[in-house]
C-alpha cells in the first residue's frame, strides 16, 4: 500500500503546484479514504491499479464530480475482472459485437444452453444495466437516439449470446470510467 501511495503522490507532484488545493481538500481526502478501503479489499492487482489510477486522476484533473469518482470506486468494487475484460474489448474495438468480444477472449464458442453462454449473457447484462455499455444506436443532430425499425425476418430461435450483428459501444459515462481508471491521464505541467 505504501508504494501505491508513493506512486499517487509522485504523479500528483509531477502535475504541478496548481493542484495542491485539490489534494488537500476534505472532499479529495474522503475519496482517498474510500478508495484505499476498497484497495485493501480488492482481490486482484488489476483492481488495485484501477483504484490507484482513479485516485491519481481525480486529484489532478477536475473533469468529473466527486460523486462520479465515488460511483467509479463502487463499480471497481462491484464488478469482477471478467467484466473488465469485456469493457476493455469494447474500449479497444468500438462497434464490436458480442460474438467478436467472445472470440477475442476465447478459443471456441460453447453451446447456447451452456453455463458459459449464460455467464456471458449475465456479464453483458450487468454492464448494460449498469450504464457502462450499450448496443450502438444512431443519434440525431442533438444527440437524441433515433428509433430503429423492427422489421426483421421471423426466426425460430432467440438472439445468440454470441450475436455477430449488433454492435456495442461504451456509454459516455463508461468512457469516463475507462478514461479515469484504465489510463494514466496525469501529465507533467511544462515549466
Q: Which CATH number fits domain 81-146+158-176: 1.10.10, 1.10.260, 3.40.50, 1.10.1740?
A: 1.10.10
Q: For residue 35, give the nearest of 6, 74, 79, 63 by alpha carbon.
A: 74
Burial class (CB in 10 A: 0-12, 13-18, 19+), 151: exposed
Instruction: Output the pTM of the full model.
Output: 0.80
What are 50-86's pLDDT values in tens digits? 999 998 888 876 777 899 999 999 999 999 999 999 9
Query: 181 phi and psi, to 5 degrees?
Result: -110, -20
Question: At 17, is the pLDDT very low, low, confident or very high (cuts 50, 70, 90)?
Answer: low
Residues of the chain with CATH 1.10.10: 81-146+158-176
Place of cell 468500438: 94
The more confident residue out of 6 and 165 is 165
What are 142-187's pLDDT values in tens digits? 877 677 766 666 766 678 899 999 999 999 999 999 999 998 765 4
Query: 134 phi and psi, to 5 degrees?
Result: -155, 160
Q: How far apart are CA 88 and CA 49, in angstroms?
A: 14
pLDDT of residue 5: 62
Amino acid at each position: 500500500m505504501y508504494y501505491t501511495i508513493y506512486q499517487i503522490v509522485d504523479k500528483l507532484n509531477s502535475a504541478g503546484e496548481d493542484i495542491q488545493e485539490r489534494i488537500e481538500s476534505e472532499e479529495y481526502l474522503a475519496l482517498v479514504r474510500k478508495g484505499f478501503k476498497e484497495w485493501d479489499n480488492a482481490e486482484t492487482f488489476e483492481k488495485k491499479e484501477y483504484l490507484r489510477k482513479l485516485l491519481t486522476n481525480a486529484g489532478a484533473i477536475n473533469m468529473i464530480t466527486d460523486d462520479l469518482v465515488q460511483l467509479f470506486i463502487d463499480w471497481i468494487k462491484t464488478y469482477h475482472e471478467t467484466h473488465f475484460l469485456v469493457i476493455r474489448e469494447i474500449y479497444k474495438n468500438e462497434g464490436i459485437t458480442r460474438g467478436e468480444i467472445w472470440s477475442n477472449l476465447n478459443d471456441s464458442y460453447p453451446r447456447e444452453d451452456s453455463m458459459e453462454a449464460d455467464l456471458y449473457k449475465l456479464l453483458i447484462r450487468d454492464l448494460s444495466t449498469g450504464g457502462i455499455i450499450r448496443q450502438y444506436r444512431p443519434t440525431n443532430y442533438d444527440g437524441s437516439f433515433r428509433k430503429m425499425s423492427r422489421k426483421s425476418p421471423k426466426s425460430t430461435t432467440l438472439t445468440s449470446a454470441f450475436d455477430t450483428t449488433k454492435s456495442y459501444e461504451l456509454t459516455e459515462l463508461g468512457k469516463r470510467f475507462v478514461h479515469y481508471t484504465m489510463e494514466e491521464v496525469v501529465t507533467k505541467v511544462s515549466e
